[in-house]
Amino acid sequence: MGMHSPQQPKFSKAFGVVGGHVSGSLSLRNFALNKSRTWLLSGSHPPPVAAACIAAIDILETEPKHVKNLWANTKQLKSAMDDLGFNTGFSETPIIPIIVGESEKAKRMSNRLFDEGVFALPIVFPMVARDQARLRLIMNAALTKDDLDEAIAAFEKVGKELKVIK
């Protein structure tokens, strides 16, 4: 069919809006429009959502400091989590997993972290393999060093409390 590899920005994560975008060849576009069930019966984004996506792209193009901050924050947090002994998997993106194993442990850890002021959603079976439950950390370019230090301290406290780390 001669399709190029599609690029799939996820507006819900990268841009803080909703939805996504797929770019590719005309063959890929036609295939997706005619065969993807989620597109067949869905409505288009309201104009404010499209405008928010365009504004987010404009900011990325004109203010590169945000991308620089995002990667610096990602590197700092991932390094700290690894140093503490957390299993961060093989992610090379600003979405960092903290793999804890049992689904119930991931839920307890998420709740305890919330008590400590940190929001980290649990991802549990069947969304991931059994005994591969995790917390999903989604980095933010606007977090300060103090914000990251506070989160790291909470993870250390709760991780030790729940025996996820030593």
Residue ranges per structural domain of the chain: 11-62, 65-161
How much is the pTM? 0.76
Where does the pLDDT of residue 3 fall: very low under 50, low under 70, confident under 90, or very high at 90 and above? very low
DSSP letter assigned to residue 133? E
Listing from the earlier edge strand, what are the strands of the sheet with 133-138?
95-101, 133-138, 121-123
Three-state secondary structure call for residue 13: helix
Q: pLDDT per residue over 61-87, tens digit each? A: 999 999 999 999 999 999 999 999 999
- In residues, how long is the chain? 166
- 162 burial (CB, 10 Å; 0-12 / 13-18 / 19+) is middle
pLDDT of 148 over the 60 cut: yes
Q: pLDDT per residue over 8-50, tens digit each? A: 566 776 677 777 777 789 998 888 878 777 666 666 778 888 8
The answer to whether 7 and 23 have CB atoms below 8 angstroms apart is yes
For residue 138, list its beta bridge partners.
95
Distances (CA, A) of 77 to 64, 88, 130, 155: 20, 10, 26, 11
Take residue 106 and report the two structure tokens written for it.
């991931």
Q: pLDDT per residue over 106-118, tens digit each? A: 999 999 999 999 9
For the chain, strand residue ranges (E) read 95-101, 121-123, 133-138
Instruction: Report, at the CATH architecture level, how domain 65-161 is classified.
Output: Alpha-Beta Complex (3.90)
